[in-house]
Chain A
Amino acid sequence: MSLFLHRLRQMARMMVGMPDYDAYLRHMAEHHPERAPMDRIAFFRERQEARYGGKNGGKCC
């Protein structure tokens, strides 16, 4: 059940283009341990700009 809710939450966030922050941390720890990862707020802002900045082709009709 909690897995289901977790998925649902992830799906809702991904519907508005917000990937999982924990997955990002895991990726950084595994592949770039020497670099400091963005904190949660910086990550949120970076992703928001990336989605809505206009270079992603916009929305569908």
Chain B
Amino acid sequence: MTRHIPWILIAIVGAAALSVVAVSRGEAVNALWIVVAAVSSFLVAYRYYALYIARTVMRLDPSRATPAIRRADGLDYVATDRTVLFGHHFAAIAGAGPLVGPVLAAQMGYLPGTLWIIAGVVLAGAVQDFMVLFISMRRDGKSLGELIRMEMGQVAGTIALFGAFMIMIIILAVLALIVVKALAESPWGMFTVAATVPLAMVMGAYTRWIRPGRIGEVSLLGLVGLLAAIIYGQSISLSPVWGPIFTFTPLQLCWILIGYGAVASVLPVWLLLAPRDYLSTFLKIGAIAALAIGIVIMAPPLKMHAVTQFANGNGPVWSGGLFPFLFITIACGAVSGFHALIASGTTPKLIASEAHAPMIGYGAMLMEAFVAIMALVGASILDPGVYFTMNSPAAVIGKDAASAAAAVTAMGFPVTPDLILQTAKDVGEHSIISRAGGAPTLAVAMAEIFSHVVGGPAMKAFWYHFAILFEALFILTAVDAGTRAGRFMLQDLIALAVPSFKETKSMAPGIVATALTVAAWGFFLYQGVTDPLGGVNTLWPVFGISNQMLAAMALMLGTAVLFRMKQDRFAWVTMIPTAWLLICTLSAGFLKLFSADIAVGFLAHAAKFSTAAAQGEVLAPAKSMAEMEAIIFNDRVDAGLVAIFLFVVLAVLFFTVRTCLAARKVAAPTAREIPAQLVPAE
């Protein structure tokens, strides 16, 4: 009993912190309360719930050989120290998602987001990652698509693979859109990000020919280059010659990114992708650690309200009410379907013992949720007036400081034009109005926190561009790597109909598949960039729905496997989060399709515009009949996409139910695990 006492104390501290966060009204709550509430909840959940799942639900067996032991080859299958593997897995799952989602969610106040991140990760997100890791670990480290095929049949596997490809396309488009939003009209940011391309190529040449394999050395070299780029970026942006050269409109940036994606994804990996991944990975881990330290040192008060009036819907940042759209918007920080692809990727091939699975599968996801909590804190320490100025579309608040200040003040968040101009000046930007997408908002918050710790107000502009660079860098890496991955997924899919398409020796299928992948995400990026409501408004919910649906699919796989292991009396562990995710995603999907509210429903929006077009009317924001047609077409494509996601998830649900019912009729376990083999004695 005594061994439980420290954990009981942690639980009490966490509960106390959570009640401070939840109950305080009127006076500013310190951000540290949220941090303490989250960390204590995570510790207790890890100690008890993860252990319960490991021992009772999965019945992990440390004496059972993992793929890294049975198939050891020193390359893909390597028994890896668990802290080292934790780093590998965390670096693979942490991306832009947990930083952006919570920032957008802050429009409803900090409380709903905080509660969902904590509850969601403990009961759903971490369970999903852990479960997929477990399933893959027992099956030679096979991928999610193969696992679904093994346990639920060929058709289910193919549908899931197709769903995963569509999700990849939307993710790439949304990530690219975030970069466009962050770099448009920002010569300083644009210069530093553009400078990373030649910089990475120099690093690539260095690791190829000069000092092959010296990753640490070349990364330090790269870091020096990056810092120089940020510092010189300021003079570039102020220069009358160079400033305009690096100033791009969103539309120009959209085409630049599409061209970049097409070229970068066919270059040799050592030239651009690998060296930039070194930079972005280390910068990401470093920035996350620095942010955590910064928040603890600064202990900032939260300026955002606990719950804003936008919890009822009609918020300017994204449309829709708290249920279901908050759960869709936060996405990766609480539950991320994409992690199922990572947990069934390299990690299961590297895990040394089944006993390490809770720390890697469950623990790394808790860490990711902690990153999401920090992003939420970041957005909430900003003046709410500044937050809504940055995140509301120009169609709502206009394009200059006076109109923005008036509109945001009218929302109930007082802000002066001077504060808007001063904030932009502090961070070295022309304007901070309507910079939706999460990255600029988070960068302002990070500049606030970092400059408090190092350098004071004079360093704000430096830290702002440092934060933008760090986000843009790993998004560009993801765009490049994702386009390559999308290409192979597409080749696999097309090969189902045309077997010769899988041919990897000839160039043509690869080029066709790459072009199709880039065209697909490029289409949605273009649509988002030209969307008068800012694009994030339209695309982020579609992304959120798709990501949460992938998570639901992974949890359904987990449920099916538990039934087939004859562990069905414990299957509530995956069934409860599955049910919740299905409720959220299906209702969000149906609302996106059929809601009569034109701010939410794609079809209602299309109907309004096509009725007007039939009468020869042009509705704002369209300025011509051609733009009217484009809006109607985009609405219908988006509706079609949501319908596809709904079909995929319902199909997987059907196969899951069928699999579970079949498993119940059989007395013995039917799960197709690789037969147990003992760890060889040393």
Give chain A's interface residues, CB within 8 Å of chain B.
Answer: 7, 9-20, 23-28, 31, 40-41, 43-61
Contacts and interface: CB of A to CB of B under 8 A. Distances in A.
B81 A56 contact: no
A48 B143 contact: no
Contacts, number: 144
30 contacts: A11-B86, A12-B216, A14-B85, A14-B350, A15-B87, A15-B285, A16-B215, A17-B346, A27-B73, A41-B212, A44-B213, A45-B212, A48-B270, A48-B274, A49-B270, A50-B76, A52-B269, A52-B277, A58-B478, A58-B481, A59-B481, A60-B92, A60-B94, A60-B95, A60-B336, A60-B339, A61-B95, A61-B174, A61-B175, A61-B547
Interface in B284-331: 285, 331
A19 B281 contact: no
A45 B75 CA distance: 12
Contacts of A24: 74-75, 78
A30 to B, nearest CB: 9
Contact of A58 (B81, B215, B484): B484
Given A19-B78, A60-B338, A9 B216 contact: yes
A58 B83 contact: no
Nearest to B204: A48
B81 A10 contact: yes
B7 interface: no
A59 B84 contact: no
Contacts of B338: 60-61
B88 interface: yes
Contacts of B88: 11, 14-15, 17
A18 B488 contact: no
Contacts of A51: 269, 274, 346
B100 to A, nearest CB: 9
Interface of B: 72-76, 78, 80-81, 83-88, 91-97, 143, 168, 171, 174-175, 207, 212-213, 215-216, 265, 269-270, 273-274, 277-278, 281-282, 285, 331-332, 336, 338-339, 341-342, 345-346, 350, 474, 477-478, 481-482, 484-488, 543, 547
Nearest to B265: A54
B143 to A, nearest CB: 7
Contact of A56 (B86, B213, B282, B485): B485
A60 B75 contact: no
Contacts of B341: 57-58, 60
Given A11-B88, A14-B80, A17-B88, A56 B345 contact: yes
Given A41-B213, A61-B95, A27 B342 contact: no
Given A16-B215, A54-B484, A61-B547, 8 more contacts: A7-B81, A7-B84, A14-B350, A18-B215, A27-B74, A49-B269, A49-B270, A58-B486
Contacts of A59: 92, 95, 474, 477-478, 481-482
B75 A47 contact: yes
Contacts of B97: 60-61
A53 B73 contact: no
B92 A14 contact: no
A17 B88 CA distance: 7
A27 B282 contact: no
A59 B273 CA distance: 12
A57 to B, nearest CB: 4
Nearest to A55: B488
Nearest to B478: A59
B282 A15 contact: yes
Contact of B168 (A11, A40, A58): A58
Contacts of A20: 78
Max chain A Cβ within 10 angstroms of own Cβ: one of B274, B285, B331: B274
B75 A57 contact: no
Contacts of A14: 80, 84-85, 87-88, 350
Contacts of B76: 50
A54 B488 contact: yes
B74 A60 contact: no
B22 to A, nearest CB: 29
Contacts of A41: 212-213
Contacts of A17: 88, 346
Nearest to B86: A11
Contacts of B143: 57
B74 A23 contact: yes
A56 to B, nearest CB: 6
A37 to B, nearest CB: 8
A27 to B, nearest CB: 4
A30 B486 CA distance: 38
Nearest to A24: B74
B437 to A, nearest CB: 14
Max chain B Cβ within 10 angstroms of own Cβ: one of A18, A24, A31, A61: A61
A29 to B, nearest CB: 10
